[in-house]
Amino acid sequence: MSKSEVAELPLLQNGDVVPCCPPITAGELSQVDAEKMAAMFKALSDPVRLRLFSKIASHPGGEACVCDIADVGVSQPTVSHHLKKLREAGLLTSERRGTWVYYQVAPSVVAAMAAMLDLRG
50 near DNA, judged by CB under 7 A? no
Choose the binding region for a second copy from 77-85, 92-100, 111-119 (rule: CB under 8 A). Answer: 111-119
The site for a second copy, by CB under 8 A, has a size of: 39
Does residue 81 interact with a second copy by CB under 8 A?
Answer: no
- By beta-carbon proximity to a second copy, the closer residue of 11 and 32 is 32
Amino acid at 71: D
Could you give the CA distance from residue 57 to residue 46 in angstroms, rounded to a whole number? 16
If binding is defined by CB under 7 A, does position 75 make contact with DNA?
yes
Write down how long the chain is: 121
Q: CA gyration radius for the chain?
A: 15
Question: Does residue 80 touch a second copy according to CB under 8 A?
Answer: no
Angle at 47 between CA 43 and CA 51, to 5 degrees: 90
